[in-house]
Amino acid sequence: MYKLSNHKGITLIELMIVVAIIGILAGIAYPSYQDSVRKSRRAEAHTGLFALQLAMEKARGNCSSYATATTTSTSSSCTSASKTVTFTNNSEYYDIGIGAASGIFEGYAVASASDYTLVAVAKGAQASDSDCAKITLTRNGTQGGTSGSACW
């Protein structure tokens, strides 16, 4: 005779408990994953800032003063009153440039003949990184950002 107690399988309640546990774990893990992704993308800003810093130092070496232009799209020139540097921003998640009196780099010191502040401003998917929406690097190597040096 067939006994019901020997029947093998899972019940709907057991399946619902497993799905609930997976949902809770996913709810905890996904925000942590997103935070890790945002932090790892900051390295892209650091790389861009260091590349622009190198271009600024090259301009200083060639022209005996830093570039004072707020744009990075023109070629290096020592003959003009406003020296500029060549820099290509390859960052998908940050706009990188020299501090300016207006525009997206507003609020940071404009480059002068003896000093500069470089700024990386988050864009696209990275714009939700409110802790480090702007990351800065100065001539003397001071690193900062929206949340201070925690962005580095």
Q: pLDDT tens digits, residue range 93-134?
A: 998 888 876 677 777 777 777 788 888 999 988 988 888 888
Q: Do residues 152 and 143 touch, judged by C-beta distance below 8 A?
A: yes
Q: With respect to residue 132, please indicate whether it lies within any of the assigned structural domains.
A: yes
Q: Measured between alpha carbons, how far is 127 from 132 in angstroms, rounded to an integer?
A: 9
The reported pLDDT for the residue numbered 5 is 64
Q: With respect to residue 21, please indicate whether it lies within any of the assigned structural domains.
A: no
Share of the chain above pLDDT 70, in %: 80
Q: Do residues 93 and 45 touch, judged by C-beta distance below 8 A?
A: yes
For the chain, which residues score pLDDT lower than 70?
1-7, 67-86, 101-102, 147-148
The reported pLDDT for the residue numbered 87 is 74
The pTM for the full model equals: 0.72
Q: With respect to residue 24, please indicate whether it lies within any of the assigned structural domains.
A: no
**What's the number of domains the chain is made of?**
1
Q: Which domain holds residue 106?
A: 42-151
